[in-house]
Amino acid sequence: MTLAPAGRRTAAAVLTAALLVPLAACGNDDTKKDTGGSPASGSASGAPAANLTVLAAASLTDVFKEAGAAYEKSHPGTKLTFSFAGSQELVAQVSQGSPADVLVTADTKSMDKVRADTGTPAIIAKNRLVIATGEGNPHKVDDLKDLADTKLKVVLAAPEVPAGKYSKQILDKQKIAVKPVSQEPNVRAVLSKVELGEADAGLVYRTDAESAKDKVDAVEIPDDQNAVAQYPAATLKESKNAEAATAFVAWLSSPEGQKILQDAGFQKP
């Protein structure tokens, strides 16, 4: 049977509509991604949405909480979960296969220990040590030499912790012998001891002292006596969210990420 022109147009319209229904259904399925039961949407920046676990050095606790909130705001659908600890603990977690997406340590040596498990690291910030004392510096600590006073209760990070390594490095360089009353598993534990009055002084990062400036005083250490801490960040090869993890590491070096880090007292990488 031959259709009239009007009939042919009607049949074509019906056929086109019939074909579009399954295509639309397929398109809806493709835009959904399983991220724990809810549809995922890409962020405004184009990075894929994901739930990321970030293993980060203890000295990044405050600034990464702020950075995480800023990142989630500009990357809708992405959620960051941070796990803070001494870099040596984080390295152990990675070596043991703990599921995570990003690693940020407080020294390059710690990161080097797991190079087989990470992408290429990028230095995102630097830091320096200061002497933290009680508010008002009641024991009148002026410089590193004062830490050798046996009447002073001094706390240091353990030697295997980056802050502990840096502390040993600068004390050895100045030939200053310090007998700490305790050696802590991370730099935040050192800060806590000073804050609580359980120690008279301790070596911490400048940013740690800044985060507790209403409770501790910071005695600056001259640059020629100090050490520079470098913070490398890298994606983990076992990450199930590789693209999103790469986007977060890159963001840490972006103007927005760098402003947050530097406003908290970290130095430019």
How many CB atoms are closer than 10 A to CB 167? 28
Closest CA to 48 of 82, 80, 78: 78
What's the pLDDT tens digit per position in 131-148? Answer: 999 999 999 999 999 999
DSSP conformation letters of 45-96: TSPPP-EEEEEEEGGGHHHHHHHHHHHHHHSTT-EEEEEEE-HHHHHHHHHT
CB 170 within 8 A of CB 221: yes
Closest CA to 221 of 144, 127, 108: 144
What's the pLDDT tens digit per position in 40-96? Answer: 344 445 667 899 999 999 999 999 999 999 999 999 999 999 999 999 999 999 999
CB 75 within 8 A of CB 49: yes
Q: How far apart are CA 244 and CA 239, in angstroms?
A: 10
Residues 6+ apart with CB under 8 A from 92: none
The per-residue pLDDT for 24 is 38
Q: What is residue 185's DSSP assignment?
A: S
- The tokens for 43 are 């962020």
The per-residue pLDDT for 74 is 95
More confident residue, 127 or 29: 127
DSSP conformation letters of 213-258: TTTEEEEE--GGG--EEEEEEEEBTT-S-HHHHHHHHHHHTSHHHH
What's the pLDDT tens digit per position in 188-246? Answer: 999 999 999 999 999 999 999 999 999 999 999 999 999 999 999 999 999 999 999 99
Closest CA to 230 of 59, 100, 55: 59
What's the pLDDT tens digit per position in 159-195? Answer: 999 999 999 999 999 999 999 999 999 999 999 999 9
